Every structure is written in C-alpha cells, then in structure tokens.
Structure 1
Amino acid sequence: MADAHYDAIVIGTSQGGRFLPVELAKAGQKVALVERGLLGGVCVNTGCTPTKTMVASARLAYQARRGAEYGVRTGPVSVDLAVVRERKRAMVAGARDNYAGRLALDGLELIEGEAHFTGPKTVEIALTNGGTREISAPVIIIDAGTRPKPLAIAGDVPVLDSTSIMELDELPEHLVVLGGGYIGLEFGQMFRRFGSEVTIVQSAARVMMAEDDDVSDEVVTILRDDGITVLTSATPVRVEPAGGGRVRLAVRTDDGEEQIEGSHLLAAIGRVPNTEALAPEAAGIRLDERGFIEVDEYLETSVPGVYAMGDIKGGPAFTHLSNDDYRILHAILIDHEKRSTRDRIVPYAVFIDPQLGRAGLTERAARAQGRAIRVAKLPMSAVIRALEIGETRGFMKVVVDADTGQILGCAVIGSEGGEIMTMIQIAMLGKLTHTAMADAIFTHPLLAEGLNSLFAMFDA
C-alpha cells in the first residue's frame, strides 16, 4: 500500500515540469512534485541560463578586441574566468530561487529524492535525507530530463562535460572539443573568445549534421575565421595522459591516425535520458532503442494516465518545446481539451556568433519528402544594417512551396539570426506567402529589412 495518495505526481522540475504542478495545484488538485537534484532542471541549472550568460561574456570580449575596426581604442583584453563563473552562478541562483518561491501553494508538496516506479501508478522515493516513501496517483507526469553522454573510448584522463566545464576558474590553454553539434560549437567558440586555443573534433563528415550542407559549411567558415581548428571525419580512438596534466587524443582520419595534444578535453557527444533510475519497466512504460520514453501525440506513454514531457521523451531537446509540452498537458489535464504535438513548427537558435536561427523544414528534408520547392538565399553582406554594424558573416535562406508560395522553412545565420528567424516563423504561423513578405514594409535600417530582399528573389 502507498504511504499517500495524490491526484497527480510530477517527477522532475525541468522546464515543463516547473509549471505544470503549480497549475494543477491551483486547479484544486493534490500534487506531489518529486525532485532528486536542483530545482529547475537542466535549463536553469546547467543549460540555457548559465551557458547563454557565459556566451554574453565571450561576445563582449570578442567585440572589445574588434574596437579598432570601429575607430574605438581599447587596451589589451583579457578574461577573468572566475568572475565569469561567479556571474553565471548568480544568474542561476536567481532563476532557481525565483522558481522555489512559486511552490508555496496549498495542495502542492515538494518531495526531495529519487523516484522509481513500483507499478503503473505507484512510485517509491529514496528520500534525500534518508528513508523511503511510496506514493500513488491516477495521473503521473515524467519530466526527468537528460544528462551528458559519457565518453566511451580507450584511455583514462580527466574529461569535462557541458556541466563541469562551466565550473572552471582558469582558462584552458588548449581545449579539445569532441563533438560538432550545437553544444560543442557553442562551448568551442566561447572558450576561443575567452582566449583558449580550441580544436573541435567531429567524427561525422560535417558539423551540425541536421542542417543543410551550406549552413554547416558557413558555420565552419565562421569558426575557422575565429581561429578555431575544426576537424571533420575524424573518429576518436583513444586518449592518454601527455604529461604535465595534458591529454593526447588519437583520431582516425582519411589520411591515417593523427595526434592532438591539449590541456583540457570536453566531451560534447550528445545526451542520454534519465530513465534507468525510474525503473519504467515496473510500470510497463515502453522505451525506444535509445532509452527515451515513447509517447503519442498527446504525450501519453504506453500506460494510460502516465505522461512524459520535455527531453526525456526524445526528439528535439529545446526548452521551448518543453514549454509547449506543458501547454498541451495543461489543456488535457486541467482544461479537459484535446491538444497535440502534431504539425507544430519547431524553431530553435544555436548561440554561436553570429547566431543560427532555424524553423520548419530544411531544404534537404523538403526534397526528401518529394516536395516541389523554391529556395532563396541572401548574404548578410547585402543587408544594409549588417554592413553598418560590421556584422556581415552568414546568410538568410528560405524554402517555399513552389505551387502555393507558402513558407516551409528557413535558416538565418547572422547577427540576431534567432530573432530574424522568429519573424519568418510568425509569417509561417500566419500562412503568409513569399509575395506578402516581399511586399511588406519593414523599418529601415533594421536587419529584418533584409527579408524584403530575400523574398523578392522569388519574383526576380
């Protein structure tokens, strides 16, 4: 028998799970919120908030070094990583404390400990302060998130991940980054701008494999322009100490084996779901081949009444999708309305500099679907505002349906690329055609004004 019965149990306080238990309690339900670690999940503690805070410091260092290009004289620029870290910690603590204050609600109980299923609707919790509790509810929502994937190659050396690297208080002399995905590229450019030598090692033929080739190529050009060494088709085979606290990485390339020596090694090779400790098999919850929880379009698992939200269910791992998962479950569990994940446009930004903003279909995906499409691409060097501010790297690219003129997707690499992408996403939501965007009046001189020129290319 369970020690206590609730109307709903929420496991984890990642982005969606931060809000749903509060709203369930406000709706009059008795809710148990279970958290084994820090309140707020990955986004607040080790993801969006801290990394983008540090990216801001890196960009300021980069801009300061460019002062002479703008006629601004500055002295030598250096970065105090300990101060950067403290600013980051303060930002995280503020966000976490702000969330903790929301939990003081009648009907909402925070239980600190690690949960695992003992049946379809029962959960046992190993309490942080000792002992166990077993609780039950007809509705259970899993929002336990993911963690960095550990490095699995031969050798025994210290390895940083996306969490531990943010706790360094001294700059690496030479940071070797394993992984050419979004996380690896953001950290690689960040530490290059802080002052480290950086080498990025990608086993695949391109970085950011989900993107179109021209997008990936442009990103590599930008990184190399920043002084970063980028190796692709380079498979790590072993790592070993190199003396003096350094590490030596051996990679296999088309030209044979190559040795890379650095002071620090960062593994940014993906993330894995926090499902093992949950014992989902005890509840009959199905997982996919990678260990993520399988859900339907209503976020329900194979067990009726048990839902999963956020990164633990697989798919694109973005905070704003977790927020939309929250909206869907709010509609289903509180408003008693049907709302689903079907056909939602997935936007995202990669916070390299200049930013990459993406929404909808890539050109490759559209062609793979057999769609009749047209593609337009405008270099940022053709945008007046970009010239004025000296930020001309990158391009805007849009994919439209050849028959209807509807916008299917876009990629924007450029200053405030994420913000410009969002304008295109709004146009997609509003079903605007490329002609409507070409004829719209956009304020001069803004970066968004380039959208006139971009969409006018379809009528040229």
Structure 2
Amino acid sequence: MQKFDAIIIGSGQGGTPLAVKLAAKGWKTALIEQRYLGGTCINDGCTPSKAMIACSNVANTVLHSNKWGIHSVGFNVDMPYIVGRKNSIVENYRNKIGQTIEQTQNLSLFMGTAVFTGHKTIKVTGEALGEEYKLSAEYIFINTGATPLIPSIKGIDQVSYLNSTTILEEIKVPKELLIIGGSYVALELGQMFLRLGSSVTVLENGPQLVSREDPDVSAAIKSMLEAEGMQIFTNANTTSVNKEDNSIIVNVQIDKLEHKISGTHLLVATGRKPQTSVLELHRTNVLTNEKGFIQVNDRLETSAEKIYAIGDVNGGPQFTHISYNDYIIIYKNLFENANLSTTQRQVPYCMFTDPQLGRIGLSEQAAMKQDIPYKVYKLPMTKVARAVENGRTTGFIKALVHEYNDTILGATVIGEEGGELMSIIQMAMLGGITATQIRDMIFAHPLYAEALNNLFRSPDH
C-alpha cells in the first residue's frame, strides 16, 4: 500500500492544477488518470470542437465572401486536414500537461482505472496487463467528469450513432446529419457540419432550443440557424431508430404527428452522465443522487470526511471554468482560510455557434420566478456600429437591471464575439458598476463594447 497525503482521481481542468498546487505545498500527491491527460475539455470538448469550428467558420466566410466584395471560385473541404489540425492542437495541450506533471516534485501519476476498496483506499488497475497499485490518502478529490448520455430509444443499439466525441473523428463530411438534442453541443456541432457541407436536421424533444434560455433568445438562435439552412423541429419526441439500406431512419412524433426522417449519420447529443459507476463509492460512504452525480455541499465536500468532488461529476454547472473554480475554492479554503463557497460565484457561459451566445446572471424567467423587479434593456446588433461595419448584424444584446437600484442582474449577448461582450458586463456586475455608469462610460470607438452606451439609454419594456 502506497500512502499519500492526497489522491486526485481524474486529470481534468480542476484535478490537474489542484494536484500540482498540493504537491507544491509539500503534500505527497497521487494523480490517477484512466484515459488521457486533460479531461473532457482538452480531449473531447472545448479544445477539439472549437479547433474544428474555426475551420467551418472560415468555410462560411469564403462561401459568403461576395457580400464583402471578395469573389472566390468555390472551395473544397479537406476533412483529414481539419481533423489532423485538431488532433495536433489537442496533443500539444496534452503533452504540456504531461510535462508539467513530470516536472512537479511530490506528484506521482498513475495511468489506470481507480476503484475504491475501502474508506480511503484505492486500487488502480494499470494500462499494462496485470499492473495494479494500491493507494491510500487522508484527502481524496474526485474529478472523474461526465460522459455522453445515450437515452433508451428503441433500436438505438442497432445503428451506428455518433456522440460528441466520436463525431470529431469523422474524416468525411456526413451527407445527411440527424441530431437528437437541441442544446449547446447539438447546435455547435450541427452548425459546424452544416458549414462544412452537411445537410443537418435537429430534433429537440422540448418546446424550444437551448431550454434554459428565455424564449426570445431561443427564437433568435433558431431563426439564425434556419437562415443558414438547418432544419429544426421542436416538440419532437424520438420514439425509435432503425436502419434501411444505407440510411438511418429516425421515427419521431412532432406535435403528436408521426414522421420518418432519414439521414446518413446520427448524432446523439442529449446530455451527459457522471462517470461514477466504476468507482464503487459505497465502499467509502460517498453518496450520489438518483442520476449518479456525487452529492456535495457548497464547499464541494462529499458525505465522507475529507473526500471532495469537483467538476462535472458533482452535478454542478458542466463547464470547464466551473471545474477550475472548484479547484480554486478547495485550495483557498484548505490553505488560506478563505471560506469560499459555490453559492458566491458567478456562472458565465458561452455557446460557440456563430454568432456566439454569451450569458451571465439572471434570465427573465429566473427573475420572474424569484419575484425580482427588473427592467429589460435590449439593443439589436443592427444598431451596433462595429457589427454593421463587419457585416455581422445577427443577434442582440439584452440586459436585466433592477427596477429600483440600477444594478445589473444578468445579460445575454447573441452576436459576433458575444462571449467577450458578456464578460465586460460580468465584470461590471462583480464590481457593482450600475447600468447608468456604463451608459455614461467612455469606450474606445468603434469597439463592440461601445454598444453598451446605447444599450442602457432606455429600457425596452
């Protein structure tokens, strides 16, 4: 039995920096990784998808270059190159993580599958045949993340469906891509392949796309994607799938009417589930909820003393930056008596369609549920000078402001670099800068940020 001060299971965006910092503090630390260093973000999510989306955005610019007076004679999509470029970027990030771990004193890396054998004892089954390690530690941090959730649709196991990981390895553009799901992954990847030449159909079970957003936000996103040629169905309940000849058939109820929709490829993008089943958590008294997510308090502590869960596995917002902030909370609480909690933090996020969707703070629906008095300020991108000059006028900026004290409650930006503009509003919210102060602030001309002056001129309603 190898004894450590701390064991981190999973090398994602929370686990790796935590392991490095604990080791730097002199803790004898073990980091266990089952698959690839870097977790979902580096290997399956942010890095690879955004690298490929960048290529599709170039394709879209070339396709529509006439609107800028640039006349091109078509183009060819080199998917092996696009996938290879993505793989090169991923491998570079992964290798840098490996170098950091290797150069960190007091830190040992174990490649293999971790299973609890007792309260704070872990067995690691290594990559090599018969390789096995037994570890124990006073502190354990679980960062095993999540994996694509495949719903129990009749016939799903009889067809070659893709998920958010496997679709990024396709070296041929799907001719007809069917997507079950209508949230961030579905829409980002759907638009990407649409721009690379696929015919794309999205089937969303709920009444609107991106269900957590306000109806006007969802409607704008639907409109912009349909304008590019994407076929979108909401209230679309997939009942079964099957294969006919060289096509995949999705049987779906749309507004209670039966339809058969065929395609050459099927992407299932219906959410993610936690990677906890293999851990045997019952042996260490760590409780999970009905979906398998590890239950934690607002300090990320589990039901077992000195065992923590960080990142997607704890059921919090499934974003890389939240996983990283989990690490910050734990580290500062352990070593700086910071008394931080998850209830104190902002949760910004961005959907990387083109244009982007950036979100921070309360939506209208949330403000109404909480009975908070608010005013809405809204500015279409057609009235943003920089957007007009760039020829990128799709979308709008929308902010919620408290009715009585002028503080900003939340904001949504659909527009070019919408995430960056959202981040400015986020900093204003954190700093207590009011809508009136932003209205009268000097921004460099002609930045997108300058639009915030006009946004806060008068409320929309």
Give the TM-score taking structure 2 as reference length: 0.97
SS in 1 for 2:377: strand
Q: Out of 162, 176, 179, which is 2:178 matched to?
A: 176
Contact 1:434-1:458 at 8 Å conserved across structures: no
- 1:10 is matched with 8
1:109 aligns with 2:108: yes
Paired position in structure 2 for 1:242: 244
How big is the shift at 1:459? 10
Cα distance in 2 between the residues matched to 1:217 and 1:315: 26
CA distance in 1, matches of 2:391, 2:59: 16
| Aligned twin of 1:55 | 53
Q: What is the Cα deviation at residue 448 of structure 1?
A: 1.2
Question: Which residue is 1:305 aligned to?
Answer: 306
Quote the residue 1:263 is aligned against.
Answer: 264
Post-superposition shift, 1:119?
2.2
Shift of 1:335: 3.1
1:65 and 1:419 map into 2 onto residues whose CA distance is 26
1:81 alignment counterpart: 79
Q: CA deviation at 1:128?
A: 1.8
Residue 18 of structure 2 corresponds to 20
For residues 274-323 of structure 1, the C-alpha deviation after alignment (integer angstroms, 9 at most, x for no partner) is 00001111111111121101111111001110001010001211111111
Letter of the 1:145 counterpart:
G
Residue 142 of structure 2 is aligned to residue 150 of structure 1: no
In the other structure, the counterpart of 2:404 is 403
Q: Tell me the amino acid that sits aligned with residue 143 of structure 1.
A: N
Report what 2:431 is aligned to: 430
Q: Distance in 1 between matches of 2:197 and 2:438?
A: 42
Where do 1:1-400 residues align within 5 Å?
3-104=1-102, 105-129=104-128, 130-155=130-155, 156-244=158-246, 246-400=247-401
Distance in 1, Cα, partners of 2:334 & 2:160: 46
* Corresponding position of 1:415: 416
Displacement of 1:81: 1.0
Shift of 1:255: 4.8
Letter in 2 for 1:51: S
Q: Please report how far the alpha carbon of residue 154 of structure 1 lies from its aligned counterpart in structure 2 after TM superposition.
A: 1.1
For residues 232-288 of structure 1, what are the alpha-carbon distances to aligned partners after superposition, in whole Å with 9 as ceiling and x for unaligned?
0010011111212x2011101225101110000000000000000011111111111
Contact 2:378 2:459 in 1 (8 A): no
What's the secondary structure of 2:343's corresponding residue?
Answer: coil
Cα shift readout 1:324-366 (whole Å, capped 9, x = no counterpart): 1111111123334322112211001000010000001101001
Q: Does the 8 Å CA contact 1:24/1:334 hold for their aligned counterparts? A: no
Equivalent position amino acid for 2:154 in 1:
A
- The worse-fitting range, judged by mean Cα deviation, of 205-214 and 116-125 is 116-125
How many angstroms apart in 2 are the aligned matches of 1:76 and 1:205? 38
Distance 1:221 1:111 in 2: 48
Q: Is the 8 A contact 1:78 1:194 kept in 2?
A: no
Superposed structure 1 runs of 4+ greater than 4 Å apart: none
Q: Give me the whole-angstrom Cα distance separating, in 1, the residues matched to 2:168 and 2:255.
A: 33
Amino acid at match of 2:180: L
Determine what percentage of the aligned residue pairs are the same residue: 42
Distance of 1:405 and 1:118 partners within structure 2 = 55
Which amino acid letter does the alignment assign opposite residue 50 of structure 1? Answer: P
**Secondary structure of 1:119's partner?**
coil
Counterpart CA distance in 1 for 2:288 and 2:166 is 29
Q: Is the 8 A contact 1:204 1:233 kept in 2?
A: yes
CA distance, structure 2, for counterparts of residue 35 and residue 430 of structure 1: 38
Deviation for aligned residue 1:106: 2.1
* Distance in 1 separating the partners of 2:417 and 2:65: 20
The separation in 2 between residues aligned to 1:342 and 1:173, in whole angstroms, is 45
Contact 1:27 1:334 in 2 (8 A): no
Q: Give a deviation string over 1:370-421, Cα, whole Å, max 9, x none.
A: 1011111110001011111100000000001111111010000001000000
Partner SS for 2:392:
coil
Q: Which runs of 5+ in 1 are unaligned?
A: none
Distance 1:54 1:212 in 2: 28
TM-score (norm 1): 0.98
The amino acid across from 1:405 in the alignment is D
User: Which SS does the other structure have where 1:248 is aligned?
Assistant: strand
My pick for the range that moved more, 87-96 or 338-347, is 338-347
1:14 and 1:145 in contact (8 A); partners too: yes
- Residue 342 of structure 1 aligns to a residue whose secondary structure is helix
CA contact (8 A) 2:377 2:460 kept: no
Q: CA deviation at 1:77?
A: 2.1
Uncovered stretches (5+) of structure 2, i.e. residues with no partner: none
User: Secondary structure of 1:457's partner?
Assistant: coil
